[in-house]
Amino acid sequence: MCYNKMFSIFLFCIGITTLTISCNDIATPFTNEYPIKSLLTQEGYQIVLATTDLAVGENRFSFIVLSETGFLNEDYSTVTFYPPTKHSQESKKTAQFMYWDDLNRGSFVANVNFPYPGKWTFQVDLQDNERDISIQANFTVNEKTIAPNEGDKAPITKNKTLDSVVNIQQLSTGNVIDPELYRHSIKDAIESGKATVVTFSSPAFCRDETCGPQVKVLQKLSSSMNSSINFIHVEIYDNPVQLQNDSKAGLFSESFKKWNLPSFQWTFIVNCLGEISHRYQGFVSYEELDGAIRFFIPGEGGKNHCLVI
């Protein structure tokens, strides 16, 4: 996936230090284009859809809107969904704008039920400086998701931890590595009987507009929560030290491959029974994630807090 003008604006605006890599530097296992981008409107607006692994049923639907100057920030947008041609009834949703924490930009998020598989169209209507903006894009709804879905058992994997490496730099491509996020493997976390939040990402290789500083969000949540929840970051590359010195050397980790993730950045909440309660493709803000995991904290989420699905 080649970088374009919009991505250059994105990197400048959010201030992420990213390695300069060409489109062919790292081979990827993904066959579908990610993220999905609409055509540019005459005024220079574009939708970038972060959630492409969609299936029949309830889905988190997240997208960003770009202008010629960067991210578009509005409190909400109206989204109209047009089903495959043999189904005629359209539906409307209000997508709430979620700030990316310390960054002055973010994404629009809505929960949507898709009753049919096939090719769908969505139209985003919002205002920018009192100008009415309308943008359309297409996406596919499948019968089942590619990545693990809500209600599925989380794949039991033994990702690298502090106890399994010699050097902490072997755990992440990030410049700042928080030891608290690497104390447990996914297998051990699930067997602990606690809820777990796990993020798959590669901090130094933030490759598209939907990618944000997810590990920083995880670190912030980990430091603010009590020990009743496990927080884990899984580096998607198996050889981060080598990769930092040679961008063509990237090998995907076994945990990343076992979870069958069709894009680079994911976050999951796993309950104490080892079942996936929430899943987030692309970046998810502190606010959105915090609201979900509150249900799993004893005394805040109710009597059966760990069984929420």
Note the pLDDT tens digit of each residue in 218-273: 999 998 886 789 999 999 999 988 887 777 778 999 999 999 999 999 999 999 89
Structure tokens at 70: 């960067």
Choose the CATH number for 32-142 among 2.40.30.260, 2.60.120.10, 2.60.40.10, 3.40.50.2020. 2.60.40.10
Q: Which residues pair with 127 in a beta bridge?
A: 132
Write the CA distances from 170 to 43, 204, 216, 266, 292, integer angstroms.
Answer: 45, 13, 18, 20, 30
pLDDT score for 295: 83
pLDDT band at 10 (very low <50, low <70, confident <90, very high): very low
Beta-carbon contacts of 289 under 8 Å, excluding residues fewer than 6 positions away, are 197, 217, 221, 267, 280
| pLDDT tens for each residue of 108-160 | 999 999 999 999 999 999 999 889 999 999 999 999 999 999 999 999 999 99
In terms of Cα–Cα distance, which of 129, 51, 55, 57 is closest to 95?
51
135 Cα distance to chain centroid: 22
Residue 274 has pLDDT above 70, yes or no: yes
**What residue spans define the domains of the chain?**
32-142, 162-307
Partner residues linked to 200 by β-bridges: 234, 266
pLDDT of residue 18: 35
- Pinpoint the alpha helices (H) of the chain: 5-14, 186-191, 214-224, 240-245, 254-258, 286-293
Q: Which CATH architecture has domain 162-307?
A: 3-Layer(aba) Sandwich (3.40)
Instruction: Say what the pLDDT of residue 305 is.
Output: 56
Torsion of CA 64, 67, 72, 76, to 10 degrees: -70
Residue 91 scores a pLDDT above 90: yes
CA distances from 192 to 34, 65, 228, 229 (A): 35, 41, 10, 10
For 260-287, what is the mean pLDDT?
Answer: 94
Q: Which tens digits make up the pLDDT trace of 49-70?
A: 999 999 999 999 999 999 999 9
**pLDDT for the residue 4:** 43
Helices (H), 162-301: 186-191, 214-224, 240-245, 254-258, 286-293
Q: What span, in angstroms and rounded, lies between the C-alpha atoms of 140 and 118?
A: 6
3 state SS of 88: coil
Predicted pLDDT of residue 204: 86
- Measure Cα distances from 137 to 82, 89, 134, 147, 166 in Å: 10, 18, 11, 23, 47
Other CB atoms within a 10 A radius of the CB of residue 37 amount to 18
Whether the per-residue pLDDT at 9 is higher than 70: the answer is no
The reported pLDDT for the residue numbered 85 is 85
The stretch 284-298 carries a mean pLDDT of 88
Examine the pLDDT at 103 and tell me if it is beyond 80: no
Of 251 and 29, the structure prediction assigns the larger pLDDT to 251
pLDDT band at 12 (very low <50, low <70, confident <90, very high): very low
Percent of the chain having pLDDT more than 90? 66
How far apart, in whole angstroms, are the C-alpha atoms of residue 296 and residue 219? 18
The pLDDT, as a whole number, for residue 307 is: 56
Looking at residue 14, its pLDDT comes to 34
Mean per-residue pLDDT over the chain, rounded: 85
**CA distances (Å), 287 to each of 83, 185, 290, 292, in order?**
31, 25, 5, 9
SS3 11: helix
| 20 band by pLDDT with thresholds 50, 70 and 90 | very low
234 is written with which tokens? 């899984």
pLDDT at 32: 57
The structure's pTM equals 0.87
